[in-house]
Amino acid sequence: MWAAIALAFGLAMDATAVSAARGLAAHRPRELVILPLVFGGFQAGMAALGWFAGVTVGPYIERWDGWVAFALLLLIGGKMVLDGLRGGDADDDGRAPPRATAMLYLGLGLATSIDAAAAGLTLPLLPVAPWVALVLIGVVTAGCSAAGFLAGRYVGERFGNKLAIFGGLVLIGIGVQLLVKSL
């Protein structure tokens, strides 16, 4: 059971960092619900796909996961950096930032969960039923994402919108780390 819990926390770290970056950028409070649902669902879903795909798709996922995650996180992180340099992503009249699109959430969910597909290949090796590991992966990721978002909001409210630049750089750094790890 401890191996499944450790796997769940390991897989949750990227989603937690992305949630914290979104919180740093002072995005809408409803992301406290959206991000954990998206990230928890994607992590569990991609791990399930990896489990079902088995050995035949495993080498393909491992070959490209770093590049896909890098590209998605580079684009999203780059946009956050540009928004921060421009003074935040609020409208010119000072209103709240525009709503994030479903495509943004899907992109973030995919970027942070590609490694879960590869990890899903190992689920039969854990000393618990694969479905238990999948539930743990989803729940732990959702909880960590919520905590990351709240921590990011707290820090962002105290230190200003320029932390969006830092958040974007964190996402780009995660993308570079995933790319390097996959090479």
Provide the whole-model pTM.
0.70
Convert the pLDDT of each residue in 110-149 to its tens digit: 988 887 887 787 777 678 888 999 999 999 999 999 999 9
Convert the pLDDT of each residue in 34-44 to its tens digit: 999 999 999 99
Residue 159 has pLDDT above 50, yes or no: yes
Convert the pLDDT of each residue in 87-112 to its tens digit: 654 444 444 444 678 888 998 899 88
Residue 10, classified by CB atoms within 10 Å of its CB into exposed (0-12), middle (13-18) or buried (19+), is middle
